[in-house]
Each structure stands twice: as structure tokens, then as C-alpha cells.
Amino acid sequence: MTSVTTRNYQDIRRALLAHEELALVDVREEDPFAQDHPLFAANIPLSKLEIEVYDRLPRRDTAITVYDNGEGLAVLAAERLLALGYSNVAVLDGGLAGWRASGGELFRDVNVPSKAFGELVENVRHTPSLGAEQVQALLAGNANVVVLDARRFDEYQTMSIPGGISVPGAELVLRVAELAPDPATQVIVNCAGRTRSIIGTQSLVNAGIPNPVAALRNGT
């Protein structure tokens, strides 16, 4: 325990402003992480640390700072990371409360940076969208429409719109021509929430496909 060093809010802020490589890791479970966390924190729960960390943090010399909210998880996580071969590991001084007390802002929900980007794109580019009732009416009326699900395949398998086709976001521009060869086909892009449907729809608009395209407003 005494071998674990600490870093404070100012250390992290300075490194972020200098664009240095770092990892700020919340080792609580997903629900408390979603309630409040620093903007660029990643969630790797202590319960899944050994399973996920090599994929999430492949560089063993990355400056890693772990934190909790007083549960006693951070020191355990730091010790495990050191045992796993990571060489630059520290605990956030004061944990989440220390971050807040030092003036650090906290955010609610998960994937906050990407969601903020999605909202910015929609606001600036006026990305077209259709409400769930409108999409349901098109499907019920057997309209010339195709629904493309932009989530990962495992998410698609968990729940999906009947008739929807799994097309993870990075594949949308690649596959849309074969899935909607008729330029009159209405293309609907959906995801679980709204961000990936906005980004997916805007990518198709930017690619200049001839089809009308819209996001499913507010997702599945």
C-alpha cells in the first residue's frame, strides 16, 4: 500500500492541457461512475480489471491514475495494476471528492464526450430525423424504407427494431449502396440512444448518397 503514489487534480489538469498521454480510470461499477465522473475518465471496474485492462490500456508505461469515491477500491486497483506490469500508476489524491474540492467539474451519464459531439453535430448540421411514430407508420405501411442499426452487433442482438439490419456505424457508408440500391428508399439509422444514429445519418449525408436519410429521433 505504501508503494502506491498519488496524483492530484492539478497534476491531471496540467497533463491534459499539455496533451500528454494519460489514463484517468474510475474503478467503481458502471452505475456510480455514471452518476458523476470527470469528463475524460474511463470506467474499468475493479471487478473486471484483470479482464479488461490489457485491451483498454495496452501501453504498460502509460501514466495511469485510478480513483474511487471513498470505497477503498482505488488502492487495490493500483496494486493490481503494478502487479500486472504497469509501471506508472498512482491514486487520485482525495478520490472523487478531492477532484470536486479542487475545482474539477463532474459529469453525469456515460460516453459524455461522444454524446456532446453528437449534439454539436446535430445542432450545427441540422441532421434530419424522424420520430418513432413516423418510422413505425412507414414500417406498418410497407413503405420503401430500410432501417440500419448502427450499434455493435452484440447490442443489436440484445434488442432491435423488427426488420432492422445490423450495420455498425463504421460500415454504414460502405454498405448502404447494397442495402438500399433504389435511390428512392428512405434510409433510417437507429441506435439505442441518439448519438450513433445522428453521427451515422450525418456520415451518409456527408457521403452524398442519393437516398433520403434520417436518424431515428432519440433512438430505440
Note the pLDDT of residue 16. Answer: 93
- The grid coordinates of residue 123 equal 445542432
Q: What is the pLDDT of residue 151?
A: 95
Q: What digits encode the pLDDT tens for the residues 110-119? A: 777 788 888 8
Residue 195 is predicted with a pLDDT of 92
List domains and CATH numbers for the chain. Answer: 5-110 (3.40.250.10), 114-216 (3.40.250.10)
* C-alpha triplet 134, 138, 139: angle, nearest 5°: 120
pLDDT of res. 2 = 47
* pLDDT score recorded for residue 114: 81
CA distance 127 to 112: 20
Model pLDDT, residue 63: 97
Please state, in angstroms and as integers, the Cα–Cα distance from residue 148 to each residue in 15, 66, 87, 197, following that order: 40, 38, 44, 9
| Beta carbons within 8 Å of 179's beta carbon, 6+ residues apart | 146, 148, 165, 167
Low-confidence ranges of the chain (pLDDT < 50): 1-2
pLDDT digits (tens, 9 = 90+) for 137-187: 999 999 999 999 999 999 999 999 999 999 999 999 999 999 999 999 999
pLDDT of 1 reads 44
| Phi/psi-derived region of residue 194, left when phi > 0, alpha when psi is between -120 and 50, beta in every other case | alpha
